[in-house]
Chain A
């Protein structure tokens, strides 16, 4: 089955770019997702990318997908204090597959 790995912590300064990385094992993963979780809250869907795409940009967010290496990244431009949260990478094998999550990367933004 799918296994999703993420680094656990990332610290950046306000205004810098953040890059959160994720690797997955299932090459048949059709959709790959990034979710954001703030303390005490549920998961907020930030963006997702189809496996036939290499890049997707949405305002300050850029998702890069390297299918060969099974590597997904989320870049947040001009990181703000409100971006402090845990970011989860998730993969899904086809529309009937289940979402499989990584353990999350805690992003800390310093002034």
Chain B
């Protein structure tokens, strides 16, 4: 069974440019998370989806970040415009109907220069 797939693995952009990350969760998983991991820190939740509904986006900086999960399957996280402080690893995770185990993708490492 394929795990959580994220792309790209690495992205380098100039500040003020837009960037998008893509995540395909494990098949059949209704819950999808986007986490931000700064260097030397634990992951911090940005947004959680139940199917296509964003049930917790309280930590998403909505002035520049947006996310969508239109058909309740794969999801896109966008930053526009990117700032130097956005350099981090962006992790996607998914969990099934019981929501007891969350499985993570490999992450996208973003560098803003």
A residues with CB within 8 A of B: 4, 31, 33, 35, 40-45, 48, 88, 90, 95-96, 98-104
B residues with CB within 8 A of A: 4, 6, 33, 40-45, 48, 56, 91, 93, 98-107, 109
Q: Is the CB of B42 within 8 A of A104?
A: yes
Q: Is the CB of B45 within 8 A of A98?
A: yes
Residues of A close to B48: CB separation below 8 A: 98
Residues of A close to B103: CB separation below 8 A: 45
Interface of A is mostly: strand
Closest chain A CB from B44 CB (angstroms): 7
Residues of A close to B106: CB separation below 8 A: 41-42
Closest chain A CB from B96 CB (angstroms): 11
Closest chain A CB from B89 CB (angstroms): 9
